[in-house]
Chain A
């Protein structure tokens, strides 16, 4: 592998290579270098992750998941944009994360690093575990975050299992987060770059997962990653950051829902808190708690979506203060440590990916439920989004904001 320049590592950062050695299967032990599969997106972060690991001496293989190609049925190929089959020309819309361009970029990076590259079809799993629940959650009046389901079921589910079956000790991704090992336990830490920190979407990782996952870029700030990309000579150094909602190509999730569940987009009344009808909505899945724009109301003072009543198919709006919540019910909670804390805990918590963490008390409840009580009221608490809690830089766990919030 040709590496130009120096490593450019930042000070005070832990090693990319964990001290851990391969533990199981003879085949793994017999190999001189641990094998790692890097989940390639064609973007700068996963590309630098692959380069760093190759430089560290891992046996690296890049795998890109083919997740979604709208309009491609199970019987049809979704390869290069059009394909003649029985005389018909079929057009396929690609998701942003595996467009032919992104595939080609990932291929180029792997060729440059002299590591194998494979495209792995995960469309069926992605549809089942991400797209369908995404649509159902919207229909149920929630605001789902498909990245959470994707990370849980696809990247750190399907792909991690696959990588392990292919003899890899680790799966690496380009996420900005850090894994630390202490006394045989794994801790999940925020990325060094607080602006880029992606630990929010990784809360579902447990000890078993973290033992086999690497986040090489989490030890760097984004500008350092771009600099590394240049130094490694990667052709993707100047690419923009990837977007959320990767499978909703173009027109956004509203159009996507319109295509997927047109029957769920029934117009209905908009009420204020006192039950006065103020207008008509175009279908509940098109609205999100805290939304102000696009309501079509002319009341003189700003009104916000407070609640989606799927039973009555009505939208409740009100003033901004009415969005405030101090208590948030959290369901399906997962703790990185593998078990809930013994008693209530002071934490900082995030209710949205982009929100700053706010001080709160975490109270584990029966089963996998928990309650967060914030010191100060939080605005626009959206069922379906994740509530994630930290002890300073360490991610303790998280869950989904409950429906009755």
Chain B
């Protein structure tokens, strides 16, 4: 910041800084090793090596074969490819898809488009007050023509971790491909695809210290998938387009870093988060946690306030050098309540006052202290100013 104070970043669910070791891993491929992995010559071979080594690193962490890893441009592309790719490849078997009502829009709007333009039918499962899908509801929604189940691993807005293994077991028993959007989970939770019983899994690099613009889709062997990008035959014909070599090297390195550190880092961030939550809630009695107490992402705190709009709070925090978010998809300053909070039966008057703090590897207790010192008086002043206009 201009006044010399450190900017405190508490919006890691939105994006993360690029880790210095990731930048290091990427650097050669912006420099001398600029080859195209598809080229015959040695420059191309070096780039090819980088991509395949990266694929292998990723596969080790996911507990899968290297050939099951597809590099994409982002988490949304991974979700789109998984859902549309499986839907189109299996449409002769059926046109029914099951998902949840709290998914990211990359999943929800893809489902909507399949319904409106391609004759599919999508069941959006309700969630409980903590935002959790009941596996029994998944079982109950399965029909003979169900060709895909997609349930996110952890929710971006409220941090809820879904019972993937139970859902995966059900899906497998019915021989239905099971996709999970694991974008928010990657930095903290186990990604072993056999443990999770998933057939497709989406990752986004910039949520775990790789740059924006690179993602991963795991596709279990034998899963029928129609590519969306056709062309040069890269990624075993599942995703055409010249490999983004530096970013692929970067996402692999980043995944490796978080895999090594996730246990210790998860514990550390949970502790910080609990400190933040405990002391904020003591100072702001009307604050209500959204999402579960326990089965939630480490470092993820989300809550609502009554009768106060989040945007003023976020401005005040920003002016105080603290980056946070409202946790909803609302980027315009206009007022559309979050579909996640509505699905969790959060009262409408609280949906506009949703706040989210998501911690990351650079955050310390000092940062937490700054928020605790800043937020309660800011909320009090905004209330006095007539928070609801």
Q: Do A and B come from one complex?
A: yes
Please list the residues of chain A having a beta carbon within 8 angstroms of any beta carbon in chain B. 27, 31-33, 35, 59, 61, 63, 66, 69, 72, 74-80, 84, 86-87, 114, 116, 118-125, 128, 158, 161-162, 164-167
Contact B319 A167, beta carbon cutoff 8 Å: yes
Q: Is B173 an interface residue (CB 8 A)?
A: no
Closest residue of chain B to A167 (Cβ to Cβ) is B319
Contact A120 B311, beta carbon cutoff 8 Å: yes
With A118-B311, A165-B381, A165-B385 known as contacts, the answer to whether A35 contacts B334 (CB < 8 A) is no
Cα A330 to Cα B315 with chains together (Å): 40
Which chain B residues (4-27) contact chain A, with CB distance < 8 Å?
none
- Distance (Å) between the CB of B328 and the closest chain A CB? 11
Q: Which residues of B contact A166 (CB under 8 A)?
A: 312, 315-316, 319, 378, 381-382
Please list the residues of chain B having a beta carbon within 8 angstroms of any beta carbon in chain A. 2-3, 109, 112, 116, 309, 311-312, 315-316, 318-320, 330-337, 377-378, 381-382, 384-386, 388-389
- Distance (Å) between the CB of B195 and the closest chain A CB? 37
Q: Which residues of B contact A80 (CB under 8 A)?
A: 332
Q: Which residues of A contact B386 (CB under 8 A)?
A: 158, 161
Interchain residue pairs A-B with the least CB separation, the first 4: A79-B332, A125-B389, A165-B385, A161-B385
Cα A228 to Cα B331 with chains together (Å): 33
Contact A158 B389, beta carbon cutoff 8 Å: yes
Cα A114 to Cα B384 with chains together (Å): 30
Among B309, B318, B331, which residue has its beta carbon within 8 angstroms of that of A121? B309
- Distance (Å) between the CB of B311 and the closest chain A CB? 6
Q: Which residues of A contact B311 (CB under 8 A)?
A: 118, 120-121
Question: What are 14 of the A-B contact pairs (CB < 8 Å)?
Answer: A32-B3, A61-B315, A61-B319, A69-B334, A78-B332, A79-B332, A116-B319, A119-B333, A121-B389, A165-B312, A165-B316, A165-B382, A166-B382, A167-B319
- Distance (Å) between the CB of A332 and the closest chain B CB? 21
Cα A114 to Cα B330 with chains together (Å): 24
Contact B112 A87, beta carbon cutoff 8 Å: yes
- Distance (Å) between the CB of B180 and the closest chain A CB? 25
Q: Which residues of B contact A84 (CB under 8 A)?
A: 109
Cα A74 to Cα B334 with chains together (Å): 9
Contact A75 B381, beta carbon cutoff 8 Å: no
Cα A124 to Cα B337 with chains together (Å): 15
Q: Which residues of A contact B334 (CB under 8 A)?
A: 66, 69, 72, 77-79, 121, 123
Closest residue of chain A to B314 (Cβ to Cβ) is A118
With A121-B309, A121-B311, A167-B319 known as contacts, the answer to whether A162 contacts B385 (CB < 8 A) is yes
Contact B318 A116, beta carbon cutoff 8 Å: yes
- Distance (Å) between the CB of A337 and the closest chain B CB? 26
Cα A218 to Cα B335 with chains together (Å): 35
Q: Which residues of A contact B378 (CB under 8 A)?
A: 165-166
Given A32-B3, A77-B335, A165-B385, 20 other A-B contacts at CB below 8 A? A66-B333, A66-B334, A77-B332, A77-B334, A77-B336, A78-B334, A79-B332, A79-B334, A84-B109, A119-B333, A120-B315, A121-B333, A121-B334, A121-B389, A123-B334, A162-B312, A165-B381, A165-B382, A166-B319, A167-B320
Contact A75 B336, beta carbon cutoff 8 Å: yes
Q: Which residues of B contact A164 (CB under 8 A)?
A: 381, 385
Closest residue of chain B to A63 (Cβ to Cβ) is B315
Cα A32 to Cα B384 with chains together (Å): 25
- Distance (Å) between the CB of B332 and the closest chain A CB? 4
Closest residue of chain B to A153 (Cβ to Cβ) is B389
